[in-house]
Amino acid sequence: MEDHFSSTRFLLISALIVMVGVIITSMVGMAIQEELKGMAKPTLVFLLLFTATGKLFSFVQFIGFFGPLIGIFLGFDSINRERVSRTLTKLLSQPIYRDSVINGKFFSGVIIIGIVLVAIVLLISGLGIRLIGVVPGVEEVWRLIIYVLISLLYISFWLGVAILFSVIFRSTATSALASLALWIFFSFFVGLGAGFLADAIAPVSQSQTYIDPEVLIKHERIQRVVSLFSPMTLYSEATNTILDPLRKTTRGLILMGPLERLSISRFQNPLPLEESILIVIPHLLSIVAITFLCFGICYLIFMRQEIRTI
Amino acid sequence: MENQIVIEAEGLTKKYGAQTAVNHLNLQVQEGEVFGFLGPNGAGKTTTLLMFLGLTEPTSGKVKILGFDPAREPFRIKEKVSFLPENVGFYEDMDARQNLRFIARLNRIPDRISEKRIEQWLELVGLSKEAGKKVGTYSKGMRQRLGIAEVMLKEPKIIFLDEPTIGLDPDGTNWMLDLIHSLSREKKITTFLSSHLLDQVQRICDRVGIMIKGNLVAVGPIEELAKKKLGVDAKDYTLEEIYMTYFKEA
C-alpha cells in the first residue's frame, strides 16, 4: 500500500510532469513578458502562467488532458496485480478489514497525486516568479490552492475508474486498456459526439446568411449539455473560471443571457474569489459526485467479490 | 477427551451457482492435532479452508474456529490463525525482511518485537543469508520457506496450510514435513493441511479426512480407516490404497 513512491512508474510520471511544467513555464513566461511590455498595471498576471496557452497549450489544459493518465497509471493494476501475484488472499487472511485494502489503495494514490500536483504548481510558480518578476497576491494564492484541489479531485476520479477496472478485470492489461478506452472516449468522443448530436437536432449551416437565433441557441445548448457529460469539460470549465477572474460564467458567449453579456462588456474588473467559486460550484459538486460514485461502486464490488475467483 | 476442540464444522455447505463445492461437511479437530485433509483436485478442499478463515461465506451450515464464527468475527480468528495459500505470493520487489515486516505490521506486532521474531524465523527456515535479496529472485523452495516464516510470525494457535509441499523437491518436502511435525509437537500448534500427496500426509498426520466431490467420505486416524476399509491390521497398507478404495466408491 505504500509502494507507490519507490516504483519506477512513479518516477517516470514525475519526470514527465516536471519536464512539461518547466517547458510550459518557460514558453508561457516569455510570451507574458512580451505582452506585459508597456502595460501600466496588469491585474492578476501571475495566474496567466497557468492559463495562458503560449505556443502549444496551457498547463491547465495539459492537466485536464493528461491528468487522467496519472490517475490511470497509479490505479489500473492496484487490485488485480495483488491477484496475479497471489498476495491478495494472503493479505486478506491477516487481521485487517477488507475495506482497508481498497481504501489504502485509493487514498495512497490520492496522496501521491496531491504531492505531484503541489510540486508542479510550486515549480511553475517558482520559475514563473523568476521569469516574469511578478509575485502572486493573496487572492491568487487562494485561487491556485482551489485549482490544486479541483485537479486532485479530477485525477482522483480517474484513479477511482482505474481501480474499479482493476477490481472487475483479472488481467492487468485488460484493465489498463479499459481505463484508457474510457479516457479516450471522454476526452475526444464526447466532445465530437456533442457536436454531431447538436448538428443533427438543430442544424446550423455555416453557408446561410441568416441564422435563426433560436436554432443557434438550441444548437449550442445541446452541444453544451452533452459535453458536460465529460469529466474533462467539467474540469476545464471549473478550473478556467477559478484561475481566470475575468471569466464570469462557465457558459460560452452565445449562451450568455443579456445581463451577463452586458456585465462582461461594461465591467472588465476581475470577479472576487467568492463569486468565481459560486459559479463553479455545480461543476465541483458534479466532479465530487462522480468520484464518490465511482469509488463507491468499486468498494461494493470488491467487498462482495468471492476470493476464490482468482 | 482432554483436548479442546478448536475447529468445528456442522453441515457446512458452499454452492457456487448450481455447483456444490462443499456438501454438508461435519468435522471436528482438536487442539495440537495435525489433520490431513485429502482429496483430488477440485474436491472442495481450498473452499473449505477459505470458509474456515472467513474469506468466503458458507451458503449454509456453521463453523466455529477457536469458538468464533468466521463469518461474523473474522477479525478474532485472523489474529490467532494463519493461512498459507497454495503457491503463496509475495511482493516481488521487496526482500524477505520487508515482506515479513509488512505482514507483521498488518498484524499490529510492534516493530521491536517483530524484528526479533523475523530474524528468529528467518534463521529457523534457513533464509538468513538470502534475506536481503528481492523475493522475485527466490526459488520455489525458498518461497515456501518464507511462507512458513510468514505464517509463524503472529504466533498462531492454528495454521492452515494449503498444499504446502506442492512443487518442492524431495529434500525440501522432507524439510517442510519435519518442520510442520515439530511445530505441532513443540508449540502445540494445531495444523490443518490440505494435500493430495498421500505418502507425505501419512508420515505426519494424526488423523485424516478424505474429501471427494465436495463430500467428506471418511474421517479418522489412518490405522482405523485401514482396518475399516481394507480389513488389514498389519502395517502393510498405504494411505494410497485406502484413498483409492474411497475414490472408486465415489
Residue A34, pLDDT > 90, answer no
Q: Is A74 helix (H, G, I), strand (E, B) or coil?
A: helix
Instruction: Provide the pLDDT for residue A220.
Output: 78
**Parallel, antiparallel or unpaired: strands B81-84 and B158-162:** parallel
CB pairs under 8 A between A and B: 59
Q: Three cell numbers at B103?
A: 505482514
The answer, for B61 touching chain A at a CB cutoff of 8 Å, is no
CA A192, CA A210: separation in Å to the nearest integer?
25
Lowest mean pLDDT: which of A42-46, A135-139, A299-303, B180-184? A42-46
The pLDDT of A289-295, averaged and rounded, is 91
Contacts of A262 (CB under 8 A, 6+ apart): none
Give the pLDDT confidence score for residue A177 in this predicted structure.
Answer: 93
Of B56, B82, B91, nearest to A307 by CB-CB distance is B56
Query: Per the structure block, which three cell numbers stand in for A167?
Result: 477490481
d(CA B97, CA B134): 9
Which of the residue ranges A41-50, A106-115, A293-302 would you say has the lowest mean pLDDT? A41-50
Q: Categorize the per-residue pLDDT at A308 as very low, low, confident or very high, splitting at 50, 70 and 90.
A: low
Q: A260 pLDDT band (50/70/90 cuts)?
A: low
Tell me, what's the pLDDT at A264? 58
Query: Taking a C-beta distance cutoff of 8 angstroms, is the pair A254, A216 a contact?
Result: yes
B85 contacts A86? CB cut-off 8 A: yes
Residue of A nearest to B57 (CA): A306
Whole-number Å distance between alpha carbons of A97 and B79: 12
Kindly state the average pLDDT of the residues B45-61: 88
User: Are residues B191 and B35 in contact, defined by beta-carbon separation less than 8 angstroms?
Assistant: yes
B222/B135: higher pLDDT? B135
Helices (H), chain B: 45-52, 74-80, 96-106, 111-124, 140-152, 170-186, 198-204, 222-230, 239-249
In this complex, is the C-beta atom of A308 within 8 Å of any C-beta atom belonging to chain B?
yes
Rounded to whole angstroms, the Cα distance separating A242 from A15 reads 27
B90 in contact with A at a CB cutoff of 8 Å?
yes
Closest CA to A105 of A67, A68, A79, A72: A79
Q: Is the dihedral of CA A25, A138, A68, A76 positive or negative?
A: positive
Which residue from B184, B249, B191 is spatially nearest to B36, judged by alpha carbons? B191
Report helix, strand or coil for A82: helix
Inform me whether the C-beta atom of residue A268 falls under 8 Å from chain B C-beta atoms.
Answer: no
Q: Which of B163, B232, B152, B153 is nearest to B189 (CA)?
A: B152
Q: Does B5 touch chain A (CB under 8 A)?
A: no
- pLDDT grade for A46, boundaries at 50, 70 and 90: confident
Q: Does B122 touch chain A (CB under 8 A)?
A: no
Q: What is the mean pLDDT of chain B?
A: 85
Task: Read off the pTM.
Answer: 0.82
Residues in A closer than 8 angstroms to B47, CB to CB, are 308
The Cβ-side half-sphere exposure at A122, using a 13 Å CA radius, reads: 6
Confidence of residue B2 (pLDDT cuts 50, 70, 90): low
Instruction: Tell me which of A307 and A63 has the higher pLDDT.
Output: A63
**Interface residue B88 vs chain A (CB under 8 A):** yes
Confidence of residue A38 (pLDDT cuts 50, 70, 90): low
Report the range out of A104-113, A174-183, B169-178, B229-238 with the highest average pLDDT: A174-183
Question: B73 exposed, middle or buried (CB, 10 Å; 0-12, 13-18, 19+)?
Answer: middle
- The amino acid present at B147, given as its one-letter code, is G
CB B34 within 8 A of CB B206: yes
Q: How big is the CA angle at B196 (ends B193 and B197), to the nearest 5 degrees?
A: 95
Distance CA A31, CA A58 (A): 12
Closest alpha carbon to B89 in A5, A310, A299:
A310
* Integer Cα distance of A66 and A187 in angstroms: 10
Cell reading at A172: 492487468
CA A33, A34, A40, A42 torsion-angle sign: negative
Residue B196: pLDDT above 50? yes
Q: Is the pLDDT of residue A63 over 50?
A: yes
CB–CB contact A86 B87 (8 Å): yes
Asked whether the predicted pLDDT for residue A52 surpasses 80, the reply is no
* Closest residue by Cα to residue B132 from B98, B183, B175: B98
Distance from CA of B236 to the nearest CA of A (A): 39
pLDDT in tens, A139-195: 888 888 988 999 999 999 999 999 999 998 888 899 999 999 999 988 888 878 887
Where does the pLDDT of residue A237 fall: very low under 50, low under 70, confident under 90, or very high at 90 and above? confident
DSSP state, residue A185: I
pLDDT at A310: 43
**What is the number of other CB atoms lying within 10 angstroms of the CB of residue B16?**
14
Question: Which tens digit of pLDDT belongs to each residue from B145-157?
Answer: 899 899 988 889 9
Query: Cell numbers 517558482 correspond to what residue?
Result: A126
**B79, B83, B89 member nearest A87 (Cβ):** B89
Q: Which of A37-46, A291-300, B165-174 has the lowest mean pLDDT?
A: A37-46
Name the residue with higher pLDDT: A124 or A40.
Answer: A124
pLDDT tier for residue A3 given thresholds of 50, 70 and 90: low
Cα torsion A47, A49, A52, A56 to 10°: value is -160
> Mutation test of the interface with chain A: which of B15, B91, B101, choosing the one with the most A Cβ atoms within 10 A?
B91
Interface probe with B: pick from A86, A93, A307, most Cβ of B within 10 Å:
A93
Pairing verdict, β B190-195 and B34-38: parallel
State whether ipTM is beyond 0.85: no
The residues pairing with B20 across neighbouring beta strands, listed in sequence order, are: B15
Cell numbers representing residue A263 in the block: 456585465
